[in-house]
Amino acid sequence: MKKITLLFSLLIFSVFNSIAQEFSLDADLRQRFEYRHGFITLFPDAADPAAFVRQRARLNFKYNSEKLNVFIAIQDVSTWGDTRQIFPTDGNDSFMLFQAWAELDLDENWSTKLGRQIIAYDDQRIFGGLDWAMQGRFHDAALLKYKKADVQFDLGFAFSQQGESVLGTTYNVLGFFTYKAMQYGYFKKNWEKSSLSLLALNTGFQRFDNSTSAVADGVYYTQTIGSYFTFPLGAVNISGSAYYQFGDAYPVDESLSAYQVALNATYKAGSTLLGVGAELLSGSDQGSTDHKSFFPLYGTNHKFNGFMDYFYVGNHANNVGLNDFHAKAIFKIGKTSSLLVEGHYFASNGELAGDANNYLGTELDLVYTQPLIKNVKLQLGYSHMFASKNMPLIKGGTTSDNTNNWGWAMLVINPNLFKHSFK
């Protein structure tokens, strides 16, 4: 019996050892100082600005072989000073498992990916990794994936619970658009210089019998369908998207009909990249009982509609929507540095109360990026919101007369710590 066990072990070892494998360990360290004087919302009277340093320390473990890929990311996200010195434990509970997934090849074209993972597609408007936020965004999900040449097709499934229940499947987590169940299909076709993708997403939220009760009463669903595309038009690169949301509006569980459309154009003039674009996100009229407000759900929303996050970053749900007209220029400075200058003109999509003009404000964003050494870069940012007198109508009545600006500086360090290939 011992000989049989030994022979079997040697056989398994020889097969395992014959497969090309790779293991790597990467670090993602960043510290970001922020000065907030009207960030996310208007700066009120008789208030002090906020200032702090937020940091992330993340380790990424990767294992790749012919048929199996494994990825594990652990991280600590904290604010300087939020844990007292010589405290025996991390009092802010900042350590977490960010990703932990395995992808198994089923054959030449099909694979399955299971576990905690980033789901990101296209320009990350509906699904994105939200890397700007120190904690990032993940999903506990199962994916069935098809990839062949220039065609990609994914099916995704998620079912959320708070723990191992004995009875029932009530999901009493009421975070911002936190779903109980999710299913989606994603298709993408690439050509030489163009692409087209289609997304169909169904998200289910726990229904309760009334707003103050924890008694579950089924699940209600919101559907999002749409497309993203890219193509060249001479020397101009065109991209855009169009999505429609219907079903039940979160969190009011009433009939929803909403849309998003976007069109962008970029042009390279020497070493300078120029861009213009517009995005329309439908909204409900103030005072109306209709639900026409589109929400981009699980995307990297900080990337869109201005860096000051006045819209769709943990806010502006079930509101008047947004019309965003924007232009940008990215200037190359020297061999490695760059300066982004971007402006946004904001207007409500739905009607404001009292037939007020729908102009909300104009935002200016500046971002300077300077690589320091290999795997280390410094970024400096400044944004200014020139809010109109009607911005208070969607920001709780806070005055728009005060200065609204935001500055930040971030150091990003992301070296590879270890990499080894073996058989």
Counting Cβ atoms within 10 Å, is residue 179 exposed (0-12), middle (13-18) or buried (19+)? buried
Domain ranges across the chain: 22-104+213-422
When pLDDT is averaged across residues 124-136 and rounded to a whole number, the result is: 97
Q: Against a cut of 0.85, is the pTM above it?
A: yes
Q: Residue 416 is encoded by which pair of tokens?
A: 């590879």
- Mean pLDDT across 272-300: 97
d(CA 262, CA 249) in angstroms, rounded, equals: 22
For the domain made up of 22-104+213-422, the CATH class stated in words is mainly beta
Percent share of the chain, pLDDT over 70: 94
- The residue-averaged pLDDT of 104-130 equals 98
Closest by alpha carbon to 282, among 256, 306, 314? 256
pLDDT of residue 18: 53
Which pLDDT does position 158 carry in this prediction?
A: 98
Q: What angle do CA 411, 414, 418 make, to 5 degrees?
A: 155
Tokens of 340: 């982004």
Residues with Cβ within 8 Å of 416's Cβ and at least 6 positions away in sequence, in order, are 24, 25, 26, 375
Q: How buried is 250 (Cβ within 10 angstroms: 0-12 exposed, 13-18 middle, 19+ buried)?
A: buried
Bigger pLDDT: 31 vs 216 = 31
pLDDT score of 1: 44
CA atoms within 13 A on the CB side of 390: 17
Contact 338, 307 (CB under 8 A): no
Look at phi and psi of residue 118 and say left if phi exceeds 0, alpha if psi is from -120 to 50, else beta: beta
Q: Which two tokens stand for residue 204?
A: 């289910």
Q: Would you say residue 403 has pLDDT above 60? A: yes
pLDDT for res 11: 37
CA nearest to 56, candidates 143, 131, 115, 108: 131
pLDDT range class, residue 156, cuts 50, 70, 90: very high
pLDDT at residue 93 in the model: 80
333-392 tens-digit pLDDT: 999 999 999 999 999 999 999 999 999 999 999 999 999 999 999 999 999 999 999 999
Write the DSSP string, 398-417. Answer: --S-S-EEEEEEEEEE--EE
- According to the model, what pLDDT value does residue 15 have? 41
CB atoms near residue 3 (< 10 Å): 7
- What's the pLDDT band for 91 if we cut at 50, 70, 90? low
In this prediction, residue 162 has a pLDDT band, given cuts at 50, 70 and 90, of very high
Residue 354 half-sphere exposure toward CB, CA atoms < 13 A? 5
Mean pLDDT value across the chain: 93
Beta bridge partners of 59: 27, 74
